[in-house]
Every structure is written in C-alpha cells, then in structure tokens.
Amino acid sequence: MTSALKALVSAAPKVELHLHIEGSLEPELMFALAQRNGVALPYKRVEDVRAAYQFSNLQEFLDLYYQGMSVLQTEQDYYDLTMAYLQRCQQDNVVHTEIMFDPQGHLERGIAFATVFNGISGALLDAERQWGLSHRLIMSFLRHLSEESAFAALAEAEPFLKHIHAVGLDSSEMGHPPEKFARVFARCRELGLKITAHAGEEGPPAYVWQAIDTLQVDRIDHGNRSLEDDALVQELVKRKLTLTVCPLSNLKLCVVPSLTQHPMLDMLKQGLKATVNSDDPAYFGGYVNDNYHALIDHLPLTHSHLYDLLRNGFDGAWMDDKQRQQHIRTLDQAFSVRC
Ligand code: HPA
Ligand SMILES: [Zn+2]
C-alpha cells in the first residue's frame, strides 16, 4: 500500500514552494566549485561534509549553510548550482518551482547582485525552454542582519525587480521578529512584490501573527508552531494562507523529535493549506519526492490526504492560472478525481 502511494505521488505533477537554492548545493558540487575557484574548505573528502550535517537547531545548520555558500563566486557557479537543482525537479516531476535566494549572503562577500541573478535566472530560463518547467524567483532578506542591510539589498535588486516575483524573510528566527522588517516589507508591497516569511519554525506563534498583520504575507514558510495557538490556526484557515511545510528539514533541525510526530496530518485536519517542500535538500537529505515518501513511511496518510497536499501546492503557487488549471487536470486524472 505505501509503495503504491509512493509511486502515485512520484509520478504526479507537483510544485515546490519552499526551496533555498543555496541549500541545494550538494557536497560533490561544493568540492568541484571550491577547486575551480581556489577556495579552501575545512573538509578533506565529500563524505566528511555529509558527516558534518548533524544539527540540533536552526543556527547550527545556518553556520554550515553560510560556509558552504563561500564556493559560489561566478555566474557559471550560480548557473551550475541552479541547473543541478532543476534537473532534480525534472526527476521528481516538479512542474513548477518557486525558489528563494539570499542576496545578502553573496553581496557581503563582494559578489555582485548581477552575477548571482544572471546565473540563477539563466538556468531557470533554460529549464523552461528545454522541458517546460515554470518558475518564480523569491529574494529573501536575512533576518539576523539589520533593516539597513535589507534596504541596501533591495536597492541592489532594483534593476532586476521585473524578474523577481516576491520577497521572503529567512535565517535565524529567534530574536529577529518579523516586525523588525516592517518598513522594508511595506516598501516591497508598494513595489508590487508578493510577500512570504519564515515564521513559526523555531519562533513563537506571535511571530506568525506579526508576519500576517505587520508584513501582510501572502504565504507562511514553515508555520509549525501556529498549532500552539487556536485563534491563529483559525485566522490562517480563514485567510486560506498556504503553509510551506518541510518535513525532512523539521526532522534534521529538531523542530520535530521524529517524523511519526510530525504535525502534517493535524494541519490538514484543521483545514490548514499545508504543502510539502524540501527547504535545503542537500543539507536535509532529500528532495520533494523524498519528503512525500518520508511522510508516507511515518504517518497514516491516505490517497485523499496526498491529493490535498499536492493540490494545496498548486493552489498556493504564484503561477500562471492557465498552466495551473492544466496541471490540476493531470493531477486529478492521476488520482482519478471527477470534475
Ligand atoms: O530552514 C531555514 N530556516 C531559516 N532560514 C533558512 N535559510 C535557509 N534555510 C532556512
Ligand atoms: Zn526555509
């Protein structure tokens, strides 16, 4: 039964709504780029990198995530990184992806915004031309840095904003509440950008409230701790706000003690628009299908729950409506849902 469900999900068209492109840097590519650019890494072998990926919280992961980024220097590096991820999307039948990137993590190392943007978007456009994978690009602000730094990153992004669909908020959550960036996000809304923010991954429900009320988000990234506040759950349900949940990330960062205790089923039961995503697949041990399979292995998920998760993804995507409807028809056929 579980293998049939896994096969069904693997073959179904799906979206990814929560993916940090820098978090898709596999150790093999990290080593290749380090060699290409003459960057010293504190590891001798690829296996040593994977062995180091044991985290007990978000910050322990972020320390290695920022260290890993140091190998990314040229436009070709960003292209190769993105193309490798997009090829994984093709293998997983991901037909639309909305990827985040962290410009401040590159600008502060002296890499030009154009270098980062051109490499990432070059690969996105090639994947769209070559096999029809559609995309949106989300620029994320690092919340451990200042409001001034976020405004400076936004200024660097201005020439490229036509191609950037949304802004997000990521990095160390505790002690960096969404309201710290109220003015930055107000300006982004004026610029017509969609808004998302990591909230309730490690931070309290109050941070999710701030993301909704102050930042006026269109989606919430993670949102797990919303379940601690019934009124907040009701508000998320009322607003039909999509939660981009990341099961293997939650496990690796100790947001949940085990996948059998993952709140995904509870989220669906309460009417939340939860979706399945990989977050930083190279660090957390799996891409989108791996995340679905891990849930199937550990929770009593039915055919109907899986349909809802896949469907919530399409409903929450910032994609072209005609394409959305076409993909939903294919999804419905795969799950034999009558119109
Ligand atoms: O899971 C995450 N949480 C917060 N910031 C991040 N930056 C990359 N991944 C993450
Ligand atoms: Zn994330």
Using CA atoms, how far apart are residues 180 and 183, in angstroms rounded to an integer?
8
Structure tokens at 210: 């701030």
Check residue 146 and give its pLDDT.
98
User: Is 279 close to ligand 1, i.e. is its CB under 6 Å away?
Assistant: yes
What is the distance, to the nearest Å, from the Cα of residue 226 to the centroid of all Cα atoms in its chain? 18
Q: From the alpha carbon of 140, which atom of ligand 1 is closest?
A: 7
Ligand 1: residue whose CA is nearest its atom 4:
171
- ipTM reported for the complex surpasses 0.90: yes
User: Is 198 close to ligand 1, i.e. is its CB under 6 Å away?
Assistant: yes
CA proximity to 244, closest of 268, 274, 216: 274
- Whether 201 is catalytic is yes
User: Is 249 close to ligand 1, i.e. is its CB under 6 Å away?
Assistant: yes
Q: Which pLDDT band holds residue 178 (cuts at 50, 70, 90)?
A: very high
Residues 117, 80 contacting (CB under 8 angstroms): no
Ramachandran angles phi, psi of 168, nearest 5°: -135, 180
CA proximity to 84, closest of 124, 113, 39, 57: 124
Check residue 15 and give its pLDDT.
98
For the CA of 284, the nearest ligand: 1
> Which of 106, 198, 284 to mutate for ligand 1's pocket (most ligand atoms within 8 Å of CB)?
198
Model pLDDT for residues 248-272, shown as the tens digit of each residue: 999 999 999 999 999 999 999 999 9
176 labeled binding residue: no
Model pLDDT for residues 31-63, shown as the tens digit of each residue: 999 999 999 999 999 999 999 999 999 999 999
Q: Which pLDDT band holds residue 1 (cuts at 50, 70, 90)?
A: confident
Full strand arrangement of the beta sheet holding 94-101: 14-20, 94-101, 134-142, 166-170, 194-199, 219-222, 242-245, 273-276
pLDDT beyond 60 at 95: yes
pLDDT beyond 70 at 215: yes
As a whole-number percent, the residues of the chain with pLDDT over 90 amount to 98
As a whole-number percent, the residues of the chain with pLDDT over 70 amount to 99
User: Is 170 close to ligand 1, i.e. is its CB under 6 Å away?
Assistant: yes
Helices (H), 132-197: 147-157, 182-190
Q: Which pLDDT band holds residue 236 (cuts at 50, 70, 90)?
A: very high
Q: Which pLDDT band holds residue 77 (cuts at 50, 70, 90)?
A: very high
CA of 168 to the centre of ligand 2 (A): 10
Helix axes 321-334, 303-316, angle to 10 degrees: 170
User: Is 23 close to ligand 1, i.e. is its CB under 6 Å away?
Assistant: yes
Q: Among the CATH numbers 3.20.20.140, 3.30.160.40, 3.30.930.10, 3.30.160.100, which is that of 2-334?
A: 3.20.20.140
pLDDT beyond 80 at 339: no
Check residue 337 and give its pLDDT.
66
Q: Would you kindly state where each structural domain of the chain is located, as residue ranges? A: 2-334
pLDDT beyond 90 at 338: no
Task: Give me the amino acid identity at 69.
Answer: M
Please pick, among 22, 98, 156, 201, the residue that the annotation labels catalytic: 201
